[in-house]
A and B are shown apart, each in its own frame.
Chain A
Amino acid sequence: MRTISSWGRLSAFPHQLIALNDPARIASLLRDSPKPGIAYGMGRSYGDVCLNPEGVLWLTTGLDHFIAFDESTGRLTCEAGVLLRDIQRLTIPHGWILPVTPGTQLVTVGGAIANDVHGKSHHVSGSFGDHIERIRLMRTDGEIIECGPHSRPDWFAATVGGLGLTGVIVEAEIQLRRVAGPWLDTETLPFADLDEFFRLTDDSETAWEHTVAWIDCISGGMGGKAGRGIFMRGNHADVGQRPEPKARQRTMPFTPPLSLVNRLSLRPFNITYYNLKKWRAGRAILHYEPFFYPLDNLQEWNRMYGSRGFFQYQSVVPREVGQDATQAMLREIARSGDGSFLAVLKTFGNRQPPGMLSFPQPGVTLALDFPNHGDKTHRLFARLDAIVRAAKGRLYPAKDARMSRALFAAGYPRLPEFLNYRDAGISSELSRRLIEN
């Protein structure tokens, strides 16, 4: 038994680890598992979707083999433990890139499918599952289910965004997108408030493939119009050969006893960040790694929230009420005095998600992080929940460690349908919290 935490570092409980390294042995390892388990890749989800205290974790990072890549069609087949980073480093020199990646590329293909992750390109490319052509799913009773958007589409829809609960994803086929090289033509634009943000994002949706905004969630204060920030947009660009930036890997060396993100630090942090970005606003050619994954070079950055860990709170609300709901959430946060440094705002495109439990839906998504201050933080979340629920929105399970069953059920109306596809030998802390078993 080993102590395992997820990315939010909110809990540390013993788990029994079983490494799935050899595809030929997975079936027997799953069948003979002493207790129900859940697949565990890089542990980058924030809450409890990848945890199973006192139970089994099936480690998938040993399933890190490429199986086939067709340079003429951009079709890649690989095992589920392959990292998105390794795919892109392999394929970009050949002119292919993943159309959708989240804010870190240090996640496995299996995790990206099971959480149906999204990125800055949602309004153009949808979510990760929109580019999966085939999944090989291994059930704990030994059955192998091959599914895709056109074959056994019901299993596919259950497994994409299925939180690992329909079986263990062992292999996938991904359709990549053509790209000229690793460079992006980017533009950074400061905005003063949410009105301006929504104008910018609407104006950018047709001409820019990647859009995202950072918002300074404590600007403006209580009465004022919170929501100044920095809007970033980018397109892949053909700028020929250039020397690649030398990424310097750093590691957060220790876990401070108290969060470094706190009332004292947050205001100067945000003011500095805003002004630095504002000062450097404008067009720039950027390499894809710093543009998409700015935190990947600071290993274990999650430690900066101190020994009690931190919560992510990511919601999506429909566009019609998006601005009001976002404004209301920012107001609640400003009132609480707690704030978030990594506050990210983005509009999702107007498209139906591929999975029954996929998070993205048309509207506005706001992602926030909060150091864990116990009850005080939970009280703030309860107020934010009320806003999300009233707006007919939902929260992102990959980041959640505390939403209620009622909110989950209200946000995910296809949950009853999904339950038909669950694997009885699979259980996670999240499934017990939100679905009973």
Chain B
Amino acid sequence: MLPDLTTATVDDRVAYLNQRYKHHAAQAVLERALSDEAVGRIALVSSFGAESVVLLHMISLYDRATPVLFIDTQMLFEETMAYQADVAQQLGLTDVRTIRARPEAVAAHDPEGLLHKTDTDACCNLRKTEPLERALSNFDAWITGRKRFQGQTRAALDFFENEGDFRIKVNPLAHWTPEDVQDYMINNRLPRHPLIAKGYPSIGCAPCTSPVKPGEDPRAGRWRNQEKEECGIHFINGKVVRGPLPVEVEIEEEKPMNVIVTDQGFVNDDWAHGFIAAADLETSAADAPAVAIDLASDADPTILAGRLDGVDLIRVDFPSFSDGRGFTLARRLRLMGFNGRLRARGHVIADQYTMVRRSGFDEVEIAPELAKRQPWEQWQARAAWQSHDYQNRLRGAV
């Protein structure tokens, strides 16, 4: 039953729409979505990538004035830009809106266009997610080309989805297989993105897309060699994000202090002498009152061999909690005879506190955001690190 649209929540509307259209085919879902009151103001978001032409073609049949949002990250392939213009013209689309990052945001965060080399997530946020979020703020719903076969995170995709209780996401092609896409393109004689023939079955920005070899997953060329699978338009940290992206970068000017986790609780950092890179140890002043070293997770600890005597503190970096090198680095430093303070810094989660302590660290340094999300009680639950430890039994300790 159609819910009362003045009071219905997004959840109510999504449930109603999924129920109503569950037996419909892709085209029917799209056609109705363009006019169903329960959907509201709607736009198609298109990358003009390898398979985009399918939805663009359908839109052109039902209502060629439907707003089409094209995100120009200013990092796209030339071929994509040319293809976008061609397709829009050929299909007679009348409301294609090109979305770009605000020039001042680009100037502030990626003036040289190199952010993608150091932090792809931040680059996607800046150039894709944030501009899109802004552009979508005037819409109640948007159409995407996502499909179930495209990966585990998409395996249970429905036609209609609740995006953070404020907007509906419509996935008309949810149940399509790769063959369906190919058939549709062949049957309708649709123009293909020129890069497909060059080995790119999935096309994103030029720096982060590479060709795919036969036998590889079609999306294998996206963010190759990285854990990343999604650009963040659809998921951020595994969750749909509400409203525009957090503008953390701007608040950072008066950055709150990191939190030090010890067996006794959260404390403020009492180290006031600064840190030097491990490589600079040699050139540091011999008469420095106190020496602390920052050690990267990919560092070779043997560079410190024979030079640990004058060192008071070593801080080992954890760029991600899933990067477990720091645990072995700590054990190695202890085996090398380091008896000073050993600190794990970065993305270490409460569940890893026992591992950190058992590997030889004394303490953990975390960002205030993480300390807020995982308060002391959650670390305390893992602070009894000396009990229930197989290693103690095997090494005869305690």
B partners with A: no
Question: Which B residues are within 8 Å of any A CB, using their own CB?
Answer: none
* Residues of A in contact with B (beta carbons under 8 Å apart): none
